[in-house]
A and B are shown apart, each in its own frame.
Chain A
Amino acid sequence: VLRIDRDLWAVVADAPLERFSPESLETELRDVEAVSRHALAHAAIVEFFFRRAPVIPLQLFTLFSGDDRVREHVARRRRWLRKLFQRLRGVEEWGVRITLNPEGERAGPRAPSGRNYLLAKKRLLDSENVPDRHVLRKANAALKKLGGLATNVRKEAFPPPGRNRPYVAGASFLVPLKKRTRWKKEVARLAAGLRKDGHRLDVSGPWPPYHFSSAGS
Chain B
Amino acid sequence: MPGKKKIELPATGIDAEASLLDVVDNVLNKGMVLNGDLVLGVANVDLIYVRLSVLLAALDKIGKDEIFRPVKAVKKKTSRR
Contacts and interface: CB of A to CB of B under 8 A. Distances in A.
Nearest to B68: A202
B27 A42 contact: yes
A30 B51 contact: yes
A204 B34 contact: no
Interface core residue of A64, A177, A215 (most chain B CB under 10 Å): A64
B45 to A, nearest CB: 7
Nearest to A77: B34
B48 A39 contact: no
Interface string B61-81: 000000111110011001000
Contacts of A206: 2, 5
Interface string B37-51: 111011111001001
Contact of A207 (B1, B26, B44): B26
Given A30-B51, A53-B1, A203 B74 contact: yes
Interface residues of B, number: 52
Nearest to A20: B38
Given A41-B11, A43-B23, A65-B37, A202 B30 contact: no
A201 B72 CA distance: 10
Given A48-B9, A50-B2, A57 B27 contact: yes
7 contacts: A32-B59, A44-B11, A58-B32, A59-B28, A61-B39, A63-B36, A203-B69
